[in-house]
Amino acid sequence: MTTASTIATEYARAWLAGDAEKALSFIADDIVCEAPSGRITGAEGYRNFLTPFVTALVSGELIDVLADEEHAATVYVVETPFAKDFRGMEYITVKDGKIAHVVSVFDRAPALAAKG
In this prediction, residues 39-51 reach a mean pLDDT of 97
Q: Give the residue numbers spanning the domain of 12.
A: 4-115
Please count the residues of the chain.
Answer: 116
With a cut of 80, say whether residue 2 has pLDDT above it.
no
**What is the CATH number for 86?**
3.10.450.50
- What is the edge-to-edge ordering of all strands in the sheet holding 27-35? 38-41, 27-35, 98-106, 86-95, 71-79, 59-67
CA distance from start to end of the chain: 47
What's the whole-number mean pLDDT along residues 12-41? Answer: 97
Residue 1 has pLDDT above 70, yes or no: no
If one counts the domains in the chain, the total is 1
Mean pLDDT estimate for the chain = 92
Q: What is the pLDDT of residues 80-116, one digit of tens each?
A: 888 888 899 999 999 999 999 999 998 767 666 766 6
Round to whole Å and give the CA distance between 66 and 81.
Answer: 28
Whole-angstrom distance, CA of residue 20 vs CA of residue 50: 7
pLDDT of residue 97: 95
